[in-house]
Amino acid sequence: MATIETAGIVKRFGAVEALSGVDLVVERGELFGLIGPDGGGKSTLLRVLATLIPADSGKVVIEGLDAGRDYREIRSLVGYMPSRFSLYPDLTVEENLKLFAALFRVPAGDNYSLAGGILEHLLPFRKRRAAALSGGMKQKLALCCALVHEPSVLLLDEPTTGIDPVSRDELWRILGRLKRRGVAIVVSTPYMDEARLCDRVALVMQGRFLDAGTPGEIVERHGRETWAARADGMSRLLVDLRSSPLVESCHAFGDQHHVTPSPGASIERLREEMTARGHRVEIREIVPGIEDCFIRVASAHTA
């Protein structure tokens, strides 16, 4: 039996269909990522899984329990971290932890086995008000609070938004540890480098899963031939690449531009064309990543 099993979840808000038939299976010890454009349905799905809002139709089963009927039991098995910081800012770190422990009727000790490593980071600040913590620390505290009752399912809505790269690494190391302890984790993220760290990811768009699979499978199915281009004037290069008939699409990727070539185009011909337009350009073929696939799929569906 899978830890999370859903079939055909539909959720409407007035005239808007936020979820239009989502099928999701997450196994014990699996880290499942949700990526997709803003407004695609990621947060709604997480809230349905957390039993905070009921689905209009479809099946949601968590640890063999039905979300419509057994939501009370499910809540004691699920840890949920919403995207907005939702702890009590005026309470200290320690008070927040005690409050969550009390709400879930578990002892308020320091030895929550799941939260173990994170708690150590927090202890030096136990008397500090939550509002006065740095962004990374706030997220660690929120994660600790979501773990006080040792849930077997962890639902995280953009836990790393607003968090610097070093703290992000730390949070993902913690998720890796929880996964090895058997926790089933569903996490949404706008960072495509994080999608690579998931066992499987789903592209969530317009209320449904456009595709789901391992990061490798996603790239295999949606990746196209991709070239990386670099020159001195990058913003001018972007404009010129986009206007070239040899280029189907082109997007900025940090210090290079990623080009999807038109059928039949070659690197040599594009290099000649860009040189003729005055660029000292360097172009080479690269292996596309999840972010390339995301942009391709998202653009195709919103165009």
Partner 1 sequence: MKAIETEALTKRFGNFTAVDSISFDVKRGEIFGFLGANGAGKTTAMRVLCGLSKPTSGRAIVAGHDVAARPERVKRRIGYMSQRFSLYEGLKVWENIRLYAGIYGARSADIRERSDALLRELDFEEGRDKLVRSLPTGWKQKLAFSVAIFHEPEIVFLDEPTGGVDPVARRQFWELIYKAADRGITVFVTTHYMDEAEYCDRVSIMVDGKIAALDSPRGLKEQFRATTMDEVFRILARGDDARAL
Residue 192 touching partner 1 (CB under 8 A):
yes
Give residue for tokens 């620390």: 137
Q: How far is the CB of 107 from partner 1 (least distance, A)?
A: 27
Q: How far is the CB of 254 from partner 1 (least distance, A)?
A: 4
Residue 288 touching partner 1 (CB under 8 A):
no
Strand ranges of the sheet holding 4-13, from the earlier edge strand across to the other edge: 16-26, 4-13, 57-62, 65-66
Residues in the interface with partner 1 (CB under 8 A) total 40
Q: How far is the CB of 263 from partner 1 (least distance, A)?
A: 23
Residue 253 touching partner 1 (CB under 8 A):
yes
Residue from 22, 24, 46, 133 binding partner 1 (CB under 8 A): 133
Q: Which residues of 240-254 are buried (b: 16+ CB within 10 A; e: fewer)?
A: bbeebebbbbbbebe
CA distance 24 to 4: 7
Residue 294 touching partner 1 (CB under 8 A):
yes
Stretch that binds partner 1, among 65-73, 145-153, 241-249, 288-296 (CB under 8 A): 288-296
Q: How far is the CB of 291 from partner 1 (least distance, A)?
A: 5
Q: Pairing between strand 65-66 and 78-81?
A: unpaired
Q: How far is the CB of 276 from partner 1 (least distance, A)?
A: 24
Shorter beta-carbon distance to partner 1: residue 70 or 211: 211
Of residues 31 through 70, those in contact with partner 1 by CB under 8 A are: 35-39
Q: How far is the CB of 82 from partner 1 (least distance, A)?
A: 12
Rounded to the nearest angstrom, the gap between the alpha carbon of residue 52 and the centroid of all alpha carbons in its chain is 19
Minimal CA–CA distance to 69: which of 77, 57, 61?
Answer: 61
Residue from 233, 252, 278, 282 binding partner 1 (CB under 8 A): 252
Q: Give start and end residues of each alpha helix (H) in 17-149.
A: 42-49, 71-75, 93-103, 116-122, 135-147
Residue pair 207/19 in contact (Cβ under 8 Å)? The answer is: yes
Cα→Cα distances 167→69, 83, 119, Å = 39, 16, 15
CA distance 32 to 189: 11
User: Which DSSP state fits 232?
Assistant: S
Residue pair 250/242 in contact (Cβ under 8 Å)? The answer is: yes
Residue 190 touching partner 1 (CB under 8 A):
yes
Residue 135 touching partner 1 (CB under 8 A):
yes
Residue span 141-180 as binding mask against partner 1, x where in contact by CB under 8 A, dash where not: -----------------x--xxxxxxxx-x----------
Residue 298 touching partner 1 (CB under 8 A):
yes
Of residues 213 through 242, those in contact with partner 1 by CB under 8 A are: 234-235
The binding site for partner 1 (CB under 8 A) comprises 35-39, 83, 121, 124-125, 133-137, 158, 161-168, 170, 190-192, 234-235, 251-255, 291, 294-295, 298-299, 302
